[in-house]
A and B are shown apart, each in its own frame.
Chain A
């Protein structure tokens, strides 16, 4: 479904930052993969490279067999099939919840307004806030905003969902409601790539866990392997710091 091969990414800001160094990984259909690691380890960069919000310098990234780094690939077509959820929600501030959910459906998927609205309403019910359809994002709590953001991504019927630290900007009491939506999604068999610090979620939902540090994939394994008996010292140190 998603395959990255020997991906490199370097940022040149005030100094050179090697965000990704020879990263390879694979996510199969229906799999939930959680990427963890200390901040600055390149996990968000890897996720953003998967739908070209960042362009990888070198390597290959295949989405459904299509190499997205190939110049001939229409990245918009690839992104239609990939939902993304951001740490800071990024709901469209000038549109209502309903507007947020229907816009891309009508503009990109060319659905009728009515069809889009029905789809949007069904998804709002699914994430538990159908009564907020007419509200503007500013009038929602963080947890509600993030659930709307998930619904917005799902409205496009994506084959893969990418989550970039979806709960990091939330107050603690709101983390649960967002994780519940994500867990339900995982149970339905959605292919998911999740960057998170929620170890409980990783342990409970993930099929595999990828541990990254300093731009490299250090260790890949099942949650059982990962949390009981990690191989690498760096992983052990990280887990001891956060658990």
Chain B
């Protein structure tokens, strides 16, 4: 048995423990500091007002459009059909049974309430989150397809393919995403929608131009990631495949890409996390995704502090889920695993 001393403790596990404690102290200090500062500017935190932007109870009133007598109440399932007979008209209103406010023989004036009921509805923040998720998923899938083909074209020996890919990649990577979104919506979108209108077809919503902008933007970065992944696979793998009589596409599909895929997963995940965050720019072309939804709620509720924190946390949930999923894929595709 060795005797315990402070120096032994510090030398073995002590500093680690102290560092962990230090981390939590710093976190609490930062959060506490922000709270203290908001108190100083007399900000009133009203967290209880936030849940209504996720779910809220919507009150619906059923009103009569005519005046007359309630002649019959016929139950049908959990509804009651209220029949009202006026001077020369009779109308029937279905009203949920529990919300019924009239009884047989009542005289009703036009605009009187026949029933009031409340229903849970999805709030604007949750709808915004859904739009962000939808835009991101479609753009990621399209981005993978575009990036894969552009990446393959980038390593092709054919100059037409290679130079096209280089031009695409350099153009996209060389200009700001915000400007690209404007071009997609205000230039390409205007042209395309006008052409559609001339053909008598319905117009595409801003959402789809936003998706296109994000997908084409991500595709350029994915193409470079794919190129680097392909080039990181030893030349001998391709030679061995070709020497067995496999064609170039067969060798790519069976030998090179499966090996490259594992290597490009981490940078690919980073790219798609960026894409989720970049989707916040789409508010600028009137796509009501999470950031735009938050901005709208802030202007009506005047609770910016809570709402922007909530907005950030919702993005964090999306990006963290994605990065967990990719880590799972990495483990799944490990050789010999």
Contact = CB atoms under 8 A, between A and B. Distances in A.
A103 to B, nearest CB: 6
Given A53-B243, A156-B245, A107 B336 contact: no
Contacts of B236: 86, 88, 90
B335 A51 contact: no
A84 B240 CA distance: 8
Nearest to B253: A107
A196 B223 CA distance: 41
Contacts of A84: 239-240, 243
Interface in A46-83: 51, 53, 76-77, 79-80, 82-83
A19 interface: no
Contact of B243 (A51, A88, A93, A94): A51
B244 A104 contact: yes
Given A93-B335, A104-B244, A108-B245, A53 B239 contact: yes
A20 interface: no
Contacts of A93: 237, 259, 335
Given A92-B255, A94-B259, A136-B335, A153 B237 contact: no
B246 A104 contact: yes
A94 B260 CA distance: 10
A92 B240 contact: yes
Interface string B253-294: 011001100100000000000000000000000000000000
Contact of A107 (B240, B246, B258): B246
Contacts of A138: 335-336
Contacts of B243: 51, 53, 79, 82-84, 153
Given A94-B259, A107-B254, A80 B237 contact: no
B173 interface: no
B331 interface: no
A175 B335 CA distance: 27
B104 interface: no
Nearest to B259: A94
A203 B258 CA distance: 43
Contacts of A136: 335-336
B244 A79 contact: yes
A89 B195 CA distance: 58
Contact of A104 (B245, B262, B335): B245
Contacts of A86: 236, 239-240
A90 B254 contact: no
A91 interface: yes
A103 B254 contact: yes
Contacts of B234: 88, 90
Nearest to A139: B336
A152 interface: yes
A79 B236 CA distance: 16
B327 interface: no
A178 to B, nearest CB: 17
B242 A79 contact: yes
Contacts of A79: 242-245
B237 A76 contact: no
Contacts of A83: 243
B250 interface: yes
A94 B335 contact: yes
Interface in B210-260: 234, 236-237, 239-247, 250, 254-255, 258-259
19 contacts: A76-B246, A76-B247, A80-B244, A84-B240, A86-B240, A90-B234, A90-B236, A90-B240, A92-B240, A93-B237, A94-B255, A104-B241, A104-B244, A107-B246, A107-B250, A136-B336, A138-B335, A139-B336, A152-B244
Given A76-B247, A92-B237, 6 more contacts: A53-B242, A79-B244, A92-B259, A94-B259, A104-B245, A108-B245
6 smallest beta-carbon distances between A and B, as pairs: A80-B245, A90-B236, A90-B240, A104-B244, A84-B243, A79-B245
